Amino acid sequence: MHDIRAIRENPAAFDAALSRRGMEPQSPSILKIDEERRAAIHAAETAQADQKKAAKDVGAAKASGNEAEFERLRALVGAKKAEVSEMQDRAKALDAQLDELLMGLPNLPFDDVPDGADEDDNVEIHRWGTPATFDFAPKEHYQLAAVQKGMDFETAAKLSGSRFVVLSGGVVRIHRALAQFMLDTHVEENGLTETWTPVLVREEMMYGTGQLPKFGEDSYQTREGWWLVPTAEVTLTNIVNGETVEESYLPRRYVAHTQCFRSEAGSAGRDTSGMLRQHQFEKVEMVSVTHPDKSREELDRMTACAQGILEKLGLPYRTVVLCTGDIGFGARRTHDIEVWLPGQNTYREISSVSVCGDFQARRMNARFKPAGGGKPDYVHTLNGSGLAVGRCLIAVLENGQQEDGSVKLPEALHPWLGGKTTLTADGELV
């Protein structure tokens, strides 16, 4: 959410930043509502002061026996009381209207975010590894003989519909091992605090991280009103919802492995084959809560954490900065990490690491007390996949595929597989 004072002070800069996202100027309508809201507040305060003064004078008029003045002042007290109530209600309604408008506006991109219309305008900033060459035409993950028994889309469709999968045997063990490998690496080497959180959250938590009100159709809501998390970003970030922490508390660096749920409302017809885009999937999510002066530095640290997982697994990748037309709603700058998938002969996103500044903190009212004293300030928040487990499984299978349909598994993963090194063409781990 945006700081109304910053908009008042420099509406042109606010509109210019939104225009980089392809949006029309918003400050005129925002400032109009804000002016009316402030006028209503002022009117309520003035009427309240008049009411208090008249209330004091009523007693004096009564004591002096001036019945006419007594009645006039008593009527004035009643009128001012009604005016106070009316102006307070108007201010409250305008405040809600302003909040609704501000809640629906995306974050402002940093100046160093490249301008662009869509993903074609993203800018590559890093590349690691060389895609392997094959003596045969590489297949996509779901076409490999090694996964035919262990990746069942037909049974999943019978159980739940499209965009679901049933994993079993060696495939599901690799999937589980990948999640454990990621968690252990982030905890033991990257210093993150492992956390286990609910996958059902209250509506205000979804507002806090920006999934609501604008993107409700992308998530699932239960009949009881809970929302299924689209990512553990929601729970991990909201740990500080409504809190004012000591500066010494920062930074807080969390990691969690959770089920995630997305309706994929805007992806009709995209990636319908295989398990690249599912309604239910697993992710190892990183979240940092930092001092404002450290958040940009933290973005680079978190990006390196995610990249490090791919490097340990020997999976070629590239990192891009998202342009203004592709950056997410709550982000000021985003680094997408794209892993090489030989079956598609292209790089596909496997992690998105974003710095949100104080955008989420304002929605959550999450602050910190400066160590040297002074007024509490908003924390900064960041989030990123470390990594998407299913997509990492896809990358491991496709990059390790052999001509006979088997898959050689990354050496770094062997300890989490009990020393097994290969998924045979029959789907067995050996």
The catalytically annotated residue of 262, 332, 333, 362 is 262
Q: Is 156 annotated as a binding residue?
A: no
State the Cα–Cα distance between residues 191 and 360, nearest whole angstrom: 23
C-alpha closest to that of 413 among 395, 405, 403, 425: 395
Distances (CA, A) of 82 to 17, 47, 88, 363: 43, 9, 10, 33
The catalytically annotated residue of 27, 219, 288, 352 is 352
The catalytically annotated residue of 90, 277, 296, 318 is 277
Is 262 an annotated catalytic residue? yes
The catalytically annotated residue of 288, 391, 398, 406 is 391
Q: Is 352 annotated as a binding residue?
A: yes
State the Cα–Cα distance between residues 305 and 337, nearest whole angstrom: 11
Q: Is 69 annotated as a binding residue?
A: no
Q: Which two tokens stand for residue 361?
A: 């903190």
Is 391 an annotated catalytic residue? yes
Q: Is 383 annotated as a binding residue?
A: yes
Q: Could you please report the per-residue DSSP string of 87-100?
A: HHHHHHHHHHHHHH
Q: Assess contact for 376 and 390: CB atoms under 8 A.
A: no
Is 277 an annotated catalytic residue? yes
Is 352 an annotated catalytic residue? yes
DSSP 429: B
C-alpha closest to that of 37 among 117, 115, 97: 97
Q: Is 385 annotated as a binding residue?
A: yes
Q: Is 263 annotated as a binding residue?
A: yes
Q: Is 273 annotated as a binding residue?
A: no
Q: Is 27 annotated as a binding residue?
A: no
Q: Assess contact for 330 and 356: CB atoms under 8 A.
A: yes
Q: Is 231 annotated as a binding residue?
A: yes
The catalytically annotated residue of 83, 86, 349, 428 is 349
State the Cα–Cα distance between residues 153 and 92, nearest whole angstrom: 52
Burial degree of 312 (CB within 10 A; 0-12, 13-18, 19+): middle
Is 318 an annotated catalytic residue? no
Q: Is 29 annotated as a binding residue?
A: no
Catalytic residue set: 262, 277, 349, 352, 391
Q: Output the known binding site for ATP.
A: 262-264, 349-352
Output the known binding site for L-serine. 231-233, 262, 285, 383, 385
What are the binding residues? 231-233, 262-264, 285, 349-352, 383, 385
